[in-house]
A and B are shown apart, each in its own frame.
Chain A
Amino acid sequence: MTVENGQSTVDSQDWPLWEVFVRPRRGLAHSHVGSLHASDAELAVRNARDLYTRRQEGVSIWVVPAAAITASSPDEKDAFFEPAGDKVYRHPTFYPVPEGVEHL
């Protein structure tokens, strides 16, 4: 599904797809809850309110055109994330702490 720019074909089926993110409470991150179709961003926010927050599930909503999201490919997942694989020294638990050391 692609976002149509320019003239609309005047058919809801061409309404772009939006990804919806909801912040459940102040202090928590917005997280992805699902997607929906809407003709523009403003209606996408309203539709998201009606669809994903009928029971006060959130205090804030983001909508993002699905077509605007660039994702890493799952097929390349292993090669893509491989560089971090051999760097266990990035974790504090890599380092032994001698007996008796405090506040480290």
Chain B
Amino acid sequence: MAAAHRVAAIAVSGSPGRRDVLQNLAAVTGCCNTGGMERQEVPGASGLLSEVAAAEAELRAAADRDRGGDGAGVAAGDELAAYFDEVVGADQKIEPRDWMPEAYRKGLVRQIAQHAHSEIIGMQPEGNWLSRAPSLARKAILLAKVQDEAGHGLYLYAAAETLGVSRAELFDKLLSGRQKYSSIFNYPTLTWADVGAIGWLVDGAAIVNQVPLCRCSYGPYARAMIRICKEESFHQRQGFDLLYTLARGTDEQRAMAQDAVDRWWYPSLAMFGPPDAESTHSTQSMAWKIKRFSNDELRQKFVDMTAQQAEVLGLNLPDEALGYDQPSGHWRYTQPDFGELMRVISGDGPCNRQRIEHRRRAHDDGAWVRDSAAAYAAKQRTRKAAA
């Protein structure tokens, strides 16, 4: 709960009176949540966080290290390519103005844009519950989380822009469906427990996916991911905490939590993408150190982490075949329906049209704010010039 307390406090910093009120509320919630029991640590989460810290340390260490060669007098295309390979090979970062293969640039734009779009569209399913959160403390936490998603989207758009695309171009491609966002956000949030399931499962899966990206060979993306992952762990914690509370509530609350987990489990597994054999972008991404692990490896890691957490929660993962395999040290599990994943990605999920429609409306509704700010800035410039 420490993270939640801090968030509640930060959310209203600047008004001391209200801060106290909220902190007290958060403290009370914390007390009710645990019901006097020892709160168990979420298994796996701290390990992932230390991986983020390690990636950050590695980034600094790589910057201090010398590359294999010094790339003196580079000019010809071959030499540029060799230099690029050398930098990537030495686990150093490629920076915006460095030469890079066109396919590397394009692939990164596609991936970072898709990632940014996912953060922005991802605000909608949870935003749906902001006005109906069951307490002020929960509302403050959810607000902070949804605000974080907006921030993550902006970090990522900024990273994509360093590759020579404009923000307008990216928005346009999202709204016209030419760039995708994660399939998971096309599922509806039917109950309050869905907010918990998204935090625990969806953000949990996102963290497993994103932690290796902190070591990505493209500097701006790696740095954005380090920032994001540090913030993301609060998201997973609050989701776990929410479900933990419901799982220890009334029968209805418990049933609501179980129902949410039942609905979000397989879509969360599908977030890791198609099985390795069918993954189109993987091989080259691995060679360029954009991607570090295969879809199936990451999916397995997520299952291993989550199966254990489900036991602590006292909720069932909806998979009869789920079981620990002693010899391999991994959990056996049933694969998600990849046919469904493909259908949802190609536009035929439960909420695809609604999500894009909402984004378009939000963008249009915000036009007057952007116009006013631009007009004001222009007026100020004119006045300054006249003075």
Contacts and interface: CB of A to CB of B under 8 A. Distances in A.
Interface of A: 1, 5-15, 17, 34-40, 43, 50-51, 54-56, 71, 73-75, 78-79
Contacts of B377: 8, 39-40, 43
A34 B10 contact: no
Contacts of A43: 373, 377
Given A5-B381, A9-B374, A51-B154, 19 more contacts: A6-B378, A8-B378, A10-B371, A11-B374, A12-B374, A34-B224, A36-B154, A36-B158, A39-B376, A39-B377, A40-B376, A40-B377, A51-B155, A54-B10, A54-B144, A55-B6, A55-B10, A55-B231, A73-B97
A72 B329 CA distance: 52
Nearest to B370: A12
A43 B378 CA distance: 13
Contact of A10 (B13, B148, B168, B374): B374
Interface centre among B98, B167, B375, B380 (most CB of A within 10 A): B167
B375 A10 contact: yes
Interface stretch (B66-74, B265-273, B346-354): B66-74
Interface in B220-250: 223-224, 227, 231
B161 interface: yes
Nearest to B385: A6
Interface of B is mostly: helix
30 contacts: A1-B166, A6-B381, A7-B378, A8-B374, A10-B371, A10-B375, A11-B374, A12-B370, A12-B374, A13-B166, A13-B168, A13-B171, A34-B223, A34-B227, A35-B158, A35-B161, A36-B154, A40-B376, A43-B377, A50-B151, A51-B154, A51-B155, A54-B147, A55-B6, A55-B231, A71-B97, A74-B95, A78-B70, A78-B72, A79-B73
Interface of B: 6, 10, 13, 70-74, 95, 97-99, 144, 147-148, 151, 154-155, 158, 161, 166-168, 171, 223-224, 227, 231, 367, 370-371, 373-378, 380-381
A79 B74 CA distance: 10
Contacts of A1: 161, 166
Nearest to B169: A13
Nearest to B70: A78
Nearest to A37: B167
